Structure 1
């Protein structure tokens, strides 16, 4: 078999084989050996950046450290300065991997990885996809992702798609006419798996439901669907499992780091403990016990070009009580820390609370395809939705009753029907946003 994916990384200077060998050794460590590995890697990466990275030296205020918990929390605002000011000695844009975050958190920045670190990132991805029978050199991907619309950026992504054996569907327009074309592609191509943004794939599943079609009936080669970048709700997962006829796997990661958590074959959201060290911290930057919600803070154990040490990614979550150092399990991903609503009573609630309440009512009959919620004032919210028919007074009254029951009274909601919802320039759908 011609290993075109492996070859494309090799041509670009990423030592994939060496990285795969190291990852295999880390995976094979016992629990006792892993404790020593993680402590050594934490100490090694911090000492490296304190010695070789002026940006990190300034952040820490010293070239020495004694206590891990005394190290500062790195946030996205710290990183919003020119990349060359943040690189370690010996690294330039000519010998590193450079990319830009999507900006879905509202704080985009350019980041870098050394080439070995990036090879490890890909090794980690390959390892986890392989758990579900996916081979990056041979499996054919149906890709629901955004794509740059400028000529050069578009052609670069198309080339990457070719080298990675994937066909990319447009997600900026997912009208029934476009979804019908996607359906025909599945009829005529031996796709092995689906990968992409949750909201777009959910829309495709709803289209199949409306047409009374099971995907495996028309594309029997399809094995698994892996969703990423947006929240996956339990009822959406159930719908996709029914209409696709395959397992739905939940992926969680950020571009500047790696895969953070990936659903394993036991249905657990297993945290990447091979290339990352993941902490869940309280407001005083102290680790919380497993089972308690806190801020997700991550250290990249191998990135020497750019420090990501105790880096706050902007999400909150909960580690399962049964987690171990070698096998942490993400029990719950609560959402972005900036996706929080402050109510007139002073109550603070995750924005997804509104989404859950509203979703359970307005999607009951399949009329509403998707929707977003925006908090415009402390007591005012705007709901924009795409549907075949406009919401009626009875449905809106049900939502108001549920909101009063679960949250508080005297909240004002307006509902606006749209033909399409605004997405980011990468095609992501931000489901809740507070303007307060």
Structure 2
């Protein structure tokens, strides 16, 4: 029984129509795809210019036939009532509504029409099938946040049931909680893992401490799909060792769906079924393949709400092996807001602290997780979870690494915690700027 597809159809999402559209796209030659993309981009812009006053106003005085002249939408543009942003063909009662997690610092409500939402799920089905995962029949172990209010909690549990998945809350990653997770894996024939990178990594560390390989206790597992947070090479190796299954990187956004998904050859294939991805510089001009820039995405089918040249707030680059029909995401380098501004005027990526602290703290101390917050230009607070407090020698080692990778004379404040504060969604944001 195709339970998952049935639940989508029951809600009014035309899955079969979306599958037919996807099959047509899959059959395109490079020339066919270029023609299709050009027509879809023109069509979605023309539709929203005619039917969406919100978008039409943003385009006043612009040559809308020139793609590069069209405005780049930011999340700040969208932080107004949803009804103000919908096209006149839809109302708040005739669309699929949802909210972003707010991990970028600018949460908002968005909408998709039923066909656009169906295209989103059909793409997930297609990509997951690369690893023999069938969303109708494969059992998912899900590491995500969950609402703590009664109505929200049971609503998510019902959705999990219809989606053939069991959800592990990421708000408690203590050894006692992770031991319960392990016992659930022993009793349940899970086929795959999906969820936030940081929580899944913590589970792998727990398994390592207890000398356990997950595939040994849950032989039905075939793949682990991590999403929503950065996956670093050393963490990927840890997951591969402790799970003994392939580890797949997924990149997506609630408002757009799946943006890129790793194939069996570790190529991060961009979703061209219903999205068009651009990499732009700070002047909103395209950069060549192989160079980093802002990730800007257009949803080719969403007629309920315009996501045209929409800036996600992420930085990344497309591989030089990319083509228009088959773009390959080479790297995600973090969010545009995740930058360190130093007293010397130097600017560094917030991820620098990940490498600095992880290299020193995991070698010399049993540090499970940490968050770095910039309080002042010259002052950083490091909250960490560990079995023992960092010694003066270990703190000095971190200080020396910071001197080397960033600059000297920066102040570090260390504070041991029993648990770290996560985003409302359950994500762990490892660098925060208070400037």
1:405 & 1:207 partners in 2: Cα distance? 31
- Residues 174-189 of structure 1: pairs in structure 2 closer than 5 A: 174-189=173-188
1:413 counterpart residue number: 412
2:243 counterpart residue number: 244
2:365 & 2:397 partners in 1: Cα distance? 16
- Inter-CA distance 321–424: structure 2 relative to 1 (3 Å threshold): same
Give yes or no for contact 1:83–1:111 (8 Å, CA) kept in 2. Answer: yes
1:172 & 1:99 partners in 2: Cα distance? 22
Q: Say how many residue pairs are matched.
A: 435
Give yes or no for contact 1:50–1:64 (8 Å, CA) kept in 2. Answer: no
2:126 counterpart residue number: 127
**1:190 aligns to what SS in structure 2?**
coil
1:353 counterpart residue number: 352
Q: Deviations over 1:289-341 (max 9, x none)?
A: 11111111111100000000000110111111111111111111011100101
**2:363 aligns to what SS in structure 1?**
coil
**2:16 aligns to what SS in structure 1?**
helix
Tell me the CA shift for residue 94 of structure 1.
2.0
1:141 counterpart = 2:136: no
Tell me the CA shift for residue 63 of structure 1.
8.9
2:364 & 2:319 partners in 1: Cα distance? 34
Give yes or no for contact 2:365–2:390 (8 Å, CA) kept in 1. Answer: no
2:327 counterpart residue number: 328
Tell me the CA shift for residue 393 of structure 1.
1.8
- Residues 233-382 of structure 1: pairs in structure 2 closer than 5 A: 233-365=232-364, 367-382=366-381
Q: Deviations over 1:27-70 (max 9, x none)?
A: 22111111111111111100010011100000101596220000
Q: Deviations over 1:330-383 (max 9, x none)?
A: 111011100101111111111001111111111125601111111110011111
1:306 & 1:37 partners in 2: Cα distance? 21
1:372 & 1:39 partners in 2: Cα distance? 44
- Residues 209-228 of structure 1: pairs in structure 2 closer than 5 A: 209-228=208-227
Give yes or no for contact 2:272–2:326 (8 Å, CA) kept in 1. Answer: yes
1:44 counterpart residue number: 43
| Ranges in structure 1 where 5+ consecutive residues have no aligned partner | none
Tell me the CA shift for residue 71 of structure 1.
0.3
**1:415 aligns to what SS in structure 2?**
strand
1:159 counterpart = 2:163: no
1:282 & 1:170 partners in 2: Cα distance? 38
Give yes or no for contact 1:42–1:301 (8 Å, CA) kept in 2. Answer: yes
Give yes or no for contact 1:50–1:63 (8 Å, CA) kept in 2. Answer: no
Give yes or no for contact 1:113–1:306 (8 Å, CA) kept in 2. Answer: yes
Give yes or no for contact 1:323–1:329 (8 Å, CA) kept in 2. Answer: yes
1:223 & 1:330 partners in 2: Cα distance? 24
Dislocated runs of 4+, deviation >6 Å: none
**1:316 aligns to what SS in structure 2?**
strand
2:83 counterpart residue number: 84
Give yes or no for contact 2:63–2:69 (8 Å, CA) kept in 1. Answer: no
Q: Deviations over 1:205-263 (max 9, x none)?
A: 00000000000111000000001111111111100100000011111110001111111
Give yes or no for contact 2:73–2:310 (8 Å, CA) kept in 1. Answer: yes
1:62 & 1:286 partners in 2: Cα distance? 19
| TM-score, scaled relative to structure 2 | 0.98
2:431 & 2:169 partners in 1: Cα distance? 23
| Ranges in structure 2 where 5+ consecutive residues have no aligned partner | none
- Inter-CA distance 269–86: structure 2 relative to 1 (3 Å threshold): same
2:330 & 2:2 partners in 1: Cα distance? 36
1:202 counterpart residue number: 201
**1:364 aligns to what SS in structure 2?**
helix
1:118 counterpart residue number: 117
Give yes or no for contact 2:62–2:69 (8 Å, CA) kept in 1. Answer: no
Give yes or no for contact 2:144–2:169 (8 Å, CA) kept in 1. Answer: yes
